[in-house]
Amino acid sequence: MVKTSILKDAIKAFGLHLEMERNLSSQTCRAYLSDLRDFSLFMEGQQSGGISQEKRVVEDFDQLHLRMYLANLYKRRLQKSSIARKLAAMNTFFRYLIREGRISTNPLTGVSAPRKDLLMPRHLSVDEVFDLLGDRFTDDVKGMRDRAILEIFYSTGIRLSELTSLNREDVDFEQSLMRVRGKGRKERIVPVGMPALRTLKDYLKKKGSLGEDGSPDDRKGPLITGRNDERINPRTVERIVDKYMQRSGNQKKISPHALRHSFATHLLDAGADLRSIQEMLGHESLSTTQRYTSVSVGRLMEIYDKSHPKARGGSSQA
């Protein structure tokens, strides 16, 4: 077997593989590489049996090293989901090295990832969403932009990364539809409510980005912009959500993802079927969407109490 490169070089080559051959989004690639660099830093701090830290190669790693790293993750009190994610990234990395002929076995074989805790998605009630969107936004470009962002999140249920990557050509105002590029750069079409479309059009009109026919003039440009009219930064969007949550009087600390959860939960409460919600959210697996059934258990109990003949303990004749 051909001698492999040192760990840092192997990680760099793996990053190019993810970006060029697997065509993953830049955000996904960064997440993979960040987890692998964490493992690399840990290994640099270990005694290497006479092998220079700078010369350590991936062939040197065995299951003992991986168990030592796993113990270190637990010692750092990382969440189980974070530990499982790191191990998943490493498993993908080692499988890549096997395909490249650099190692013969996967050192993660037999190392079990922790069972993830079932975390309930944080979401807002309908009243809380209306309080958030009912804020008196300023009528300048920034205020109209902020309102459009919040309306789009709740109207479509898209992810933060999906919102920031939207271009003007992705919105069909006539058909009330939006083209979204999701995880793995997979595209889907989602419906957009009229309030969200109105606020979006007001924002584009205010910043002079609508043509005479009422459609965006530069259709290739970013839909929502930040400083210097460049594509808005995800961190800026997070600050916008936090700002208006505080202004609405709600003390909950939420992320933009909570508006996505609110979108799905409120659809489910109103009677939408899981398959339709799955399509709109862009989930590959229905089991991911089914997490929202736990959130809406109160609604299910309400329907049960109203509809089932024996729900209130009444008797029925055989």
Q: List, in sequence order, every residue forming a beta bridge with 216; answer none if it has no partner.
A: 210
Is residue 292 flagged as an active site residue?
yes
Among the listed residues 32, 96, 154, 292, the single catalytic one is: 292
CA atoms within 13 A on the CB side of 283: 18
Give the whole-angstrom CA distance, residue 171 versus residue 176. 8
Among the listed residues 181, 260, 261, 266, the single catalytic one is: 260
Rounded to the nearest angstrom, the gap between the alpha carbon of residue 227 and the centroid of all alpha carbons in its chain is 24
Among the listed residues 159, 168, 181, 266, the single catalytic one is: 159
Q: What angle (nearest 5°) sits at the alpha carbon of residue 199, between those of residues 210 and 180?
A: 80
Among the listed residues 183, 188, 207, 219, the single catalytic one is: 183
Question: Which residue in this structure is represented by tokens 């049960």?
Answer: 304
For the four alpha carbons of 131, 134, 140 and 144, in that order, the dihedral sign comes to positive
Non-local CB neighbours of 13 within 8 Å, separated by 6+ positions: 5
CB atoms within 10 A of CB 18: 20
Is residue 257 flagged as an active site residue?
yes
Among the listed residues 147, 181, 201, 283, the single catalytic one is: 283
Among the listed residues 67, 219, 257, 299, the single catalytic one is: 257
Is residue 283 flagged as an active site residue?
yes
Catalytic annotation, residues: 159, 183, 257, 260, 283, 292
